[in-house]
Amino acid sequence: MNVFLDDLREIFRPGEDSPHGPVAPLLLAMTFVTGLVDAFSYLVLGHVFVANMTGNVLFLAFALAGAKGLSVAASLVALLAFVVGAAGGGKMHWLMQEHRSRLLSVSTLVQALLVAVALVLTALTARPVDGGFRYAIIVALAIGMGVQNAASRKLAVPDFTTTVLTLTITGLGADSRLVGGTGSRATRRSIAIACMLVGAFVGAIFVLHVGIWWPLAIALVLVASVALATRVLGTAHPEWS
């Protein structure tokens, strides 16, 4: 229990010697956003992900093999748009590599604008979403998630990738005390997994029972809040910036 509480304290109340300052809770919020937007894209845009590209590679292969309900075009568009976003996020890093809080602030601001575009397009179309609206929404969200993934990669906070959980889950099992490991970072790994799980659950509930645009509205509020919080915290914690 003491180890668990110490890990929680490190995440949410980092000490002055913490190399990552207050960034961990912000990245957890972005992990929640990933669950929201992928729930939306999978359930509304026709079995395509805009954040988890491993799934899209598999969907592309299944679609090429003739599986029904999957789209070669949608998977390819999502993959290409994500790469464009990741390249943009990489460029931001090179321009702001000496100021990590500014990188997160700018990248989340750009992402907020793209989520806002997707939200407006979703509000303007009817369900089911198809045709030009479908691909425009995929492009906007996938670029935004590419930017997010690139920024989190450059920030390099262990186990807080915000979009990819395979290695996080692997570490949870491989480093477990049950197999003779140290059990290190089990708390942060579990929280990261829970954030995406809950985000996807919330997104699915809203899509299926309330309204298809709600997950994007929540995501927009969260991303914009992270952008603002990063701006403020970057000034308050110069050792992280």
Instruction: For residue 179, give Cα distances in angstroms to 7, 73, 176.
Output: 20, 44, 6
As a whole number of angstroms, the distance between CA 120 and CA 138 comes to 13
**pLDDT in the model for residue 8:** 63
The domain total for the chain is: 1
Residue 107 lies in a domain: yes
Residue 40 lies in a domain: yes
Report the pLDDT averaged over residues 138-154: 91
Tokens encoding 84: 């464009």
Give tens-digit pLDDT for 217-232: 999 999 999 999 888 8
Q: Residue 45 — φ and ψ, nearest 5°?
A: -95, 5
**pLDDT in the model for residue 159:** 64
Give tens-digit pLDDT for 178-213: 655 555 567 778 888 899 999 999 999 999 999 999
As a whole number of angstroms, the distance between CA 148 and CA 104 comes to 8
**pLDDT in the model for residue 203:** 97
The overall pTM is greater than 0.85 = yes
Residue 9 lies in a domain: no
Closest CA to 141 of 91, 93, 86, 82: 82
Residue 3 lies in a domain: no
Please report, for the domain that includes residue 153, its CATH number.
Answer: 1.20.1250
Residue 58 lies in a domain: yes
Residue 1 lies in a domain: no
User: Does pLDDT of 24 surpass 90?
Assistant: no
What is the domain extent for residue 157? 26-231
Residue 4 lies in a domain: no
Helix (H) or strand (E) holding 145: helix 131-155
| CB-based contacts of 75, cutoff 8 Å, min separation 6 | 48, 56, 57, 59, 60, 63
